[in-house]
Amino acid sequence: MKVSILGNSLTSLTLAKLLVNQDIRVDIYSFGKIIKKNQIQTIGISKTNIDFFNNNILNIKKLIWNIQKIEIYSENLNSEKILNFKNNENHLFSIIKNCDLYNYIKKNLKKNKLVKFKNYITYQNLLKSNYNLIFNCDKENFISKKFFSKTINKNYKSRAYITTLKHEKLSNNFTATQIFTKKGPLAFLPVSSTETSVVYSIKGKKNFDIKDSIKKHNTKYKILKINDFLNFELKASSLRSYYHKNIIAFGDMLHRLHPLAGQGFNMTIRDMKEIHRLILFKKEHGLDLDLSLSFEFEKNMKDKNYLFSSGIDFIYEFFNLENKINKNIVSKSLKFLGKNKITNNFFTKLADSGLNI
């Protein structure tokens, strides 16, 4: 069996590693310039997804920093804690630098004889290559514009500002913090005992000093340095059709989310779990990879992904409403719900496993 992957992103490489582990030959195509991976951006991966990653893709235990607790605060309640998630027996999720994970997977793939890295290919040549399946992880290529342009979009009219704090060593830096400020959600995500990633999603035009705002809301770290910021526009999207014949859209092509819940890459890993399950089923029954996998993948994941994406958007709008009406009723309501163990456990499991709870 032979598969091609269009794009050279973290999603592309992760999917390639999952496939070659099933003895599937993979050609990875790059289109245009490969963007140099920044040293700032991080991703959070849930406990369930880390277990799947380590067991079925590549063991990344040495690269991750485990988070045991998540604390959520609201500026509208004078920065009072409104929610608290923790797992007394294990960690909730893990933080990893994008560039570290990208380089680690790519180094591993380059040693694998089942993988070939190739440059641009035309649509005609792609069809002539007789691939069983084609995974499209690149939204800018010709196939995306031809077959995967119909999406449900939302512009948050916001920008995410990302940086890394260098701070004095903390022996117990295992708590992630999310603060719903009047300017937008601000997250502190520990990467090590001396580094913490910061993601600040700011609505409208930035008319204040971000560094001063970070220092104002910081209560845990003795900051030594705040690195330069990376920033990008915040939009959400859901693809209307997941496949065209044997070409399957994948990764951010399928769904883009607001970063407040850190669920973007987690959704992609859950999609990989489904691809993995479908491949195992076909192998066990002596079936080839073909168009039926495209159909089954969309049938099993499309509605589930859209519902989950809508839930993340609801959370954002929930807190945004509080700022619009200038009342703290939303924060007080969540604080009340957070005291209920059943509700708290439900939201913890939802963040970990998605709608597969």
Q: What is the mean pLDDT of residues 163-180?
A: 92
Q: What is the mean pLDDT of residues 103-109?
A: 96
Q: Encoding tokens for residue 284?
A: 């066990």
pLDDT band per the 50, 70, 90 thresholds, residue 81: confident
Which residues are bridge partners to 39 per DSSP?
A: none
Give yes or no for residue 33 having a pLDDT over 70: no
Q: Output the DSSP codes for 315-353.
A: HHHHHHHHHHHT--HHHHHHHHHHT-HHHHHHHHHHHHH
Map out the domains of the chain as residue ranges. Answer: 2-356
pLDDT band per the 50, 70, 90 thresholds, residue 74: confident
Q: For the chain, give me the number of helices (H) and strands (E)?
A: 10, 18
Q: Which residues contact 251 (CB under 8 A, 6 or more apart)?
A: 7, 9, 11, 12, 15, 137, 268, 271
CA distance 60 to 345: 27
Give yes or no for residue 318 having a pLDDT over 60: yes
pLDDT band per the 50, 70, 90 thresholds, residue 89: low
* pTM of the predicted structure, to 2 decimals: 0.89
pLDDT band per the 50, 70, 90 thresholds, residue 347: low
Q: Encoding tokens for residue 281?
A: 């089923």
2-356 to CATH, choices 3.30.565.10, 3.30.200.20, 3.30.465.10, 3.50.50.60: 3.50.50.60
pLDDT band per the 50, 70, 90 thresholds, residue 266: very high
Q: Encoding tokens for residue 31?
A: 């289109």
Other C-beta atoms closer than 10 Å to the C-beta of 41 total 17
- Tens of pLDDT, residue by residue over 226-264, are 999 999 999 999 999 999 999 999 999 999 998 877 788
Q: Which residues contact 305 (CB under 8 A, 6 or more apart)?
A: 238, 254, 255, 267, 271
